[in-house]
Amino acid sequence: MKSKKGEIRLHEILDAGEQLFSQKGYDETTINDVLSRVDIGKGTFYHYFDSKLSLMTSIIERMMGQLAQMVTDIANDPSLAAHDKMTKVLLQLNQSGSEAHGMIEGQSAPQNAILHQAGIVASVHSMTPILAKIIEQGIDEGVYHTPYPFETIEFILASNQFYFDVSAFGWQKEEMYQKGKSFIRIMTLSLGATAGSFDFLLSFFEAQVNKEMS
């Protein structure tokens, strides 16, 4: 078990890595950059991480943990109806997910594939149980209709992250708009929601496409 001082040092390294990866990109950031930012020696760095890749992986895992807590807080809010919870969660997931994606852009292909896959798996594992409970609440309230709440949201989360990976498929902007509209329809039908229930995602999706493909 790490001491409190050790925990503080660990988070200092994670904070520095997150800042540097966001500012310079993964490839352009070196371990020496991290050492300089935190003012530590290599021995201290390697006490916590065995490589730059393991640092990046830990940063993404921390992001996922923070996001899961945020989503849990929304899901546990007794004042919100199920669809209001789902609306807040989806907006939060899309915004935070784009931040994590931006950090790993520009990596070499093998490392990008490893991190992308790890990110999808971590996200699906952490978010599915939380969102499934929201869907179950929605079923009780009569706004969602599916016999498979857990598997349905699991499929939606996994396919969303993979399908819209521009680096993997090379989609053009016009294609992304069309695919975004179709995905929203597929999600609506999968959850048995009323037509238009998730159209609020269209404007957010268009803004993200313009930002990433400008």
Domain parsing of the chain, residue ranges: 1-50, 52-212
Superfamily classification of domain 52-212: Tetracycline Repressor, domain 2 (1.10.357.10)
Q: What mean pLDDT is predicted for residues 117-129?
A: 85
CA distance linking residue 200 with residue 54, whole number of Å:
37
Tokens of residue 82, six digits: 């199920």
Whether the CB-CB separation of 73 and 134 falls below 8 Å is answered with no
Q: pLDDT confidence of 208, banded at 50, 70, 90?
A: low
* C-beta separation of 89 from 79 below 8 A: no
pLDDT at position 69:
92
Specify whether the CB–CB gap between 38 and 16 falls below 8 A.
yes
Fold classification of 1-50 (topology level)? Arc Repressor Mutant, subunit A (1.10.10)
Express each pLDDT in 43-92 by its tens digit. Answer: 999 999 999 989 988 988 888 888 899 999 999 999 999 999 999 998 88
* pTM tops 0.75: yes
Chain-wide mean pLDDT for the chain?
Answer: 85
